[in-house]
Amino acid sequence: MQRLPMAAALAALMLAGVSTTAVQAADSFRETKFKLIARTNKAINDELKKPAPDMKAIAANAVKLDRMAAELPGWFPKGSGPKLGVKTHALPAIWEQPAKFAAAAAGLRAATTAMKTASAAGDLAAVQAAVPKIGASCKACHADFKEQD
Amino acid sequence: MQRVRVWDLPVRLTHLGFLLLIPALWWTAENGEMERHSQLGYALLFLLLFRLYWGFAGSRNARFASFMRGPAAINAYLRGRASRPVGHNPLGALSVVALLGLMATQISLGLFAQDSDGLFSGPLSHLISYDLSDAAREWHERLFNLLAALIALHVLAVLYYQLVKRDRIVEPMVTGKKRLPPQAEGGASASWAALTAGLLLSAGVTWWVSLGAPL
């Protein structure tokens, strides 16, 4: 009779432990992904700073960027928020205001798709115009949903 | 006593520029105004390049060679065994060099730094990797604290001279003129040619850096 609550408490603790690990894994996964977005942004920008940018290289990175932007909402599954003492920059607002978060993610997707189309067409001016739009969508989303250092 | 010009106008104007630009640079960085931050950064780069050049080609009191002294001279000054110099004293010279050196380091880091999204970056960030550029940003942030501490020390030292030692050093940095014995030389005259060359050189280098240092 006394063993049962103890076992239940242990099971609960283990479950909590498992979910902490799961949240940690989800968080480091999306951190890696966001760094990959940043690296891809840098690759595009570095190319644009050259006297004669290589449009093929930009287009390849734009495809990667657009794919990541499409996947982005999936990096925030339910329950992977800042709970259980996991260190994360993801704010609870992501899960509290899902419609607003989805709209912010869609904003990035629109910008990356514009970049993909422009670079595939070899339109340098349109590529250059897409860069600040991507930057603005990063910034806007981070202002509401990312904890600042 | 006579009022003699000890600081030339370029020295005073660059000093005033530092005083205005550094708080503005801090404010723009804190508030994410990165476009403005980078413009002000170029202004500071231009002023700093000019001030370094002026340390070799400017008037006597502006030149590093005239005020940079060794440990023995600093020691003698601290013990009150040295005559009061017209320009920077041996201890103040250390502060000048530390502040200019730290500003140069800070600007250099900023030129290579990028934001965490890899989107907004200094004009030279394309020359280095993503990780190095990230590290440059982190050091750019950290080093500012050291610069702020040095500036605070500088201000305290100035206040100490002005209010406790009653050595009025603030007015000369504003008006350029200091009360000196009749035969004293000011040491604040420089050539217009050197000034023009310095302005053109600093502007040229700043422009080249802002373009990403193309070769």
The DSSP bridge partners found for residue B177 are B5
Closest by CA to A103, choosing from A68, A62, A145, is: A145
Rounded CA separation B30/B21 (Å): 14
Q: What is the average pLDDT across A33-43? A: 95
Q: What is the average pLDDT across B138-167? A: 95
Residue of A nearest to B215 (CA): A51
- Say if CB B106 and CB B140 are below 8 A apart: yes
Q: State how beta strands B177-180 and B2-5 pair.
A: antiparallel
Q: Which residues in A lie closer than 8 A to residue B32 (C-beta atoms)?
A: 139
A138 → closest Cβ in B119, B130, B214: B119
Q: Which residues of A23-45 are buried (b: 16+ CB within 10 A; e: fewer)?
A: bbebbeebeeebbebbbbbbbbb
B213 sits in the region (left: phi over 0; alpha: psi -120 to 50; else beta) called left
B126 → closest Cβ in A37, A45, A131: A45
- A132 contact partners, CB below 8 Å, separation of at least 6: none
Rounded CA separation A43/B129 (Å): 9
CB contact under 8 Å between A37 and B118, yes or no, is yes
Q: Is 70 exceeded by the pLDDT of residue B4?
A: yes
Question: What confidence score (pLDDT) does residue A43 get?
Answer: 95
Q: What is the average pLDDT across A32-55? A: 93
CB contact under 8 Å between A41 and B133, yes or no, is no
Residue of B nearest to A142 (CA): B117
Length of chain A: 149
Question: What confidence score (pLDDT) does residue A8 get?
Answer: 64
Q: Which residues in B lie closer than 8 A to residue A131 (C-beta atoms)?
A: 119
A38 touches chain B (CB under 8 A): yes
Residue of B nearest to A44 (CA): B119
- A55 contact partners, CB below 8 Å, separation of at least 6: A119, A122, A124, A127
B119 → closest Cβ in A45, A50, A51: A45
Q: Is 90 exceeded by the pLDDT of residue A2?
A: no
CATH architecture of A3-145: Up-down Bundle (1.20)
| pLDDT 10s digits, B81-110 | 877 788 898 989 999 999 999 999 999 999
Q: What is the average pLDDT across A32-57? A: 94
Closest by CA to B4, choosing from B155, B167, B130, B179, is: B179
Q: Is 80 exceeded by the pLDDT of residue B2?
A: yes
Q: Is 50 exceeded by the pLDDT of residue B20?
A: yes
Q: Is 90 exceeded by the pLDDT of residue A3?
A: no
A51 touches chain B (CB under 8 A): yes
Q: Is 80 exceeded by the pLDDT of residue B211?
A: yes
Q: Which residues in A lie closer than 8 A to residue B212 (C-beta atoms)?
A: 49
Rounded CA separation B193/B1 (Å): 32
Question: What confidence score (pLDDT) does residue B32 get?
Answer: 85
Domain ranges of chain A: 3-145
Q: Which residues in B lie closer than 8 A to residue A46 (C-beta atoms)?
A: 125-126
ipTM of the complex, rounded to two decimals? 0.74
Q: Which residues in B lie closer than 8 A to residue A41 (C-beta atoms)?
A: 117-119
| pLDDT 10s digits, B175-185 | 999 988 887 78
- Say if CB A61 and CB A52 are below 8 A apart: no
Express as a percent the part of chain B with pLDDT over 90: 73
Written as six digits, the tokens of A112 are: 């990356």
Question: What confidence score (pLDDT) does residue B120 get?
Answer: 86
CB contact under 8 Å between A41 and B126, yes or no, is no
Q: Is 90 exceeded by the pLDDT of residue A13?
A: no
Question: What confidence score (pLDDT) does residue A1 get?
Answer: 47
CA A6 to chain centre: 41
B35 touches chain A (CB under 8 A): no
Rounded CA separation A27/A16 (Å): 16
| pLDDT 10s digits, B57-84 | 999 999 999 999 999 999 999 898 877 7
B114 touches chain A (CB under 8 A): yes
The DSSP bridge partners found for residue B121 are B114
| pLDDT 10s digits, B6-19 | 999 999 999 999 99
pTM confidence score: 0.85
